[in-house]
Amino acid sequence: MQNIVVLISGRGSNLRAILEAIDVGLPLRIAGVISDKPTAAGIELAHRYGIASRVVDHGAYPPDERAGFHDALASAIDEFDPALIVLAGFMRILSAAFVARYKGRMMNIHPSLLPAFPGLHTHRRALEAGVKFHGCTVHFVSETLDSGPIIVQAVVTVRDDDTEASLACRVLEQEHRIYPLALRLFAENRLRITGNRVRVAVDEAATPGPLTSPKLTT
């Protein structure tokens, strides 16, 4: 079974979704959880599951020592020898050198339908733009922020009475659904990166729900 490392900055809700998926058969093992914040609630979640954790405190590195933070983060990751690094609410922009080190081996989930609304405050920006559909994207990480090859996306309808909070809540539900699916595709060796596209070997008969691409099974 392949090892993965999960990077977090906060409560670890996507970490929990991945752990629950592993409990019911996702064929991966979380070897370690790494946080850039000592107070991240997801660290306690890792402890409850008996998973090793590390903190690489971003606040301990001044802006002119950003390379030092990335070196320390890489050392913590390599300690667990992961097949894949999973960013689950990890709120740091990674250097080009760091991304290149793990090229094709690092996934992220973003709360928008990329390439729309990269960066922060995606739900607010979606409402301000008046879009009819919003959602989330799992992608491989590239040197450009939120621009890596897309693995899977899920869509939610934007309602007339939506607030930033209500829209975020529905998108988060979809995040918890599609991240484990993307990880299963990785574990089953069904992903191929070609340029900036991901080719996915899928079961075309599978119908997990509307407005999800590609068609995946749980």
Domain span including residue 14: 1-102
Task: Give the residue from 117, 76, 86 showing the smallest Cα distance to 179.
Answer: 86
The answer to whether 110 is a known catalytic residue is yes
pLDDT of residue 206: 52
Residues 118 and 23 in one domain: no
| Domains: count for the chain | 2
pLDDT tens column, 23-69: 999 999 999 999 999 999 999 999 999 999 999 999 999 988 999 99
Residues 81 and 170 in one domain: no
The CATH number of the domain where 209 resides is what? 3.40.50.170
Residues 93 and 35 in one domain: yes
* Mean pLDDT calculated for residue range 153-175: 98
pLDDT tens column, 95-149: 999 999 999 999 999 999 999 999 999 999 999 999 999 999 999 999 999 999 9
Residues 35 and 129 in one domain: no
Tell me the pLDDT band of 201, cut-offs 50, 70 and 90: confident
Residue 95 to residues 100, 143, 145, Cα–Cα distance (Å): 9, 7, 10
Residues 170 and 208 in one domain: yes
Residues 117 and 83 in one domain: no
- The one catalytic residue among 110, 123, 134, 139: 110
Q: Can you tell me which residue has the tokens 């590609």?
A: 214
Residues 159 and 200 in one domain: yes
Which of 64, 81, 102 is the last residue in one of the domains? 102
Kind of pairing between the strands at 150-157 and 2-8: unpaired
Which of 102, 137, 152 is the last residue in one of the domains? 102
- Gap between the Cα atoms of 34 and 204, Å rounded: 36
Residues 113 and 205 in one domain: yes
- Gap between the Cα atoms of 103 and 97, Å rounded: 10
Residues 87 and 116 in one domain: no
Which of 102, 118, 141 is the last residue in one of the domains? 102
Percentage of the chain surpassing pLDDT 90?
90
Give the predicted TM-score (pTM) of the model: 0.92
